[in-house]
Amino acid sequence: MWNPRRIGIDLDGVIIDHREHKRMLAEEYGFALEPWQTNSNIMRQHVPGEVFDTMQTDLYGSLTRKAPAVAGALQLLPSLKAEVYIVSSRRAGSIRHAQDWLLSHRVYDSVPAERIFFCGTDGEKRGYCDRLGIDLFLDDKISVLEGLGAKTKRVLFDEDGIARHLNAEERFTVAKTWDEFVVLANGKVHA
């Protein structure tokens, strides 16, 4: 199958699960969202721009520390048979909260700090993937995957099952769970 040598993985929405916090914050601001409406590809459609921006600041600030891991992420990261990189678009002010989370969840045990990159904007991910020679990238945002270069295979992480509503199933390989992603990435069905 693919046999990637270097796998890149997004952080927020793929390793860190913000869905409950998003739902909770939206409610505080007066918007009752179904869990799927908090999906990063569509949440902007369900809350006004200024609320969305304030929510981003909260989510990627100190609230990050209280966010759970995405189901299976921490257990299955070490089982990937490739060099694993984390490439996040977090900006300077929110990086330390991500680092606290990575430390407290012992992610550095499986992905060393020198393979973790914070690039500031979604658009920068392409440059990082190209420079690092990432041949497979996992992200929960369609726009990020669309922006990657031709040498990087793309997998959409889609816990909410919304790919089919956004016509993303035809364009990207979809992994609904970490189990599915590991099967795709390692190139065979594992026991």
Contact footprint for Mg ion (CB under 5 A): 10, 12-13, 140
Cβ closest to Mg ion, residue 4 vs residue 13: 13
Report the nearest approach of Mg ion to the CB of residue 156 (Å). Answer: 11
CB of 109 to Mg ion, least distance (A): 22
DSSP 75: H
Residue 12 or 160: which CB sits closer to Mg ion? 12
For Mg ion, give the closer residue by CB, 47 or 98: 98
Nearer to Mg ion, 12 or 159 (CB): 12
- Chain-centroid distance, C-alpha 142: 11
From CA 93, how far away is CA 177, in angstroms rounded? 30
Collect all residues with Cβ–Cβ distance below 8 Å to 105 and sequence separation of at least 6. Answer: 69, 74
- 116 near 86, Cβ under 8 Å? yes
Instruction: Report the first-to-last Cα separation within the chain, whole angstroms.
Output: 18
Distance of closest approach, residue 139 Cβ to Mg ion, in angstroms? 6
Residue nearest to Mg ion (CB): 13
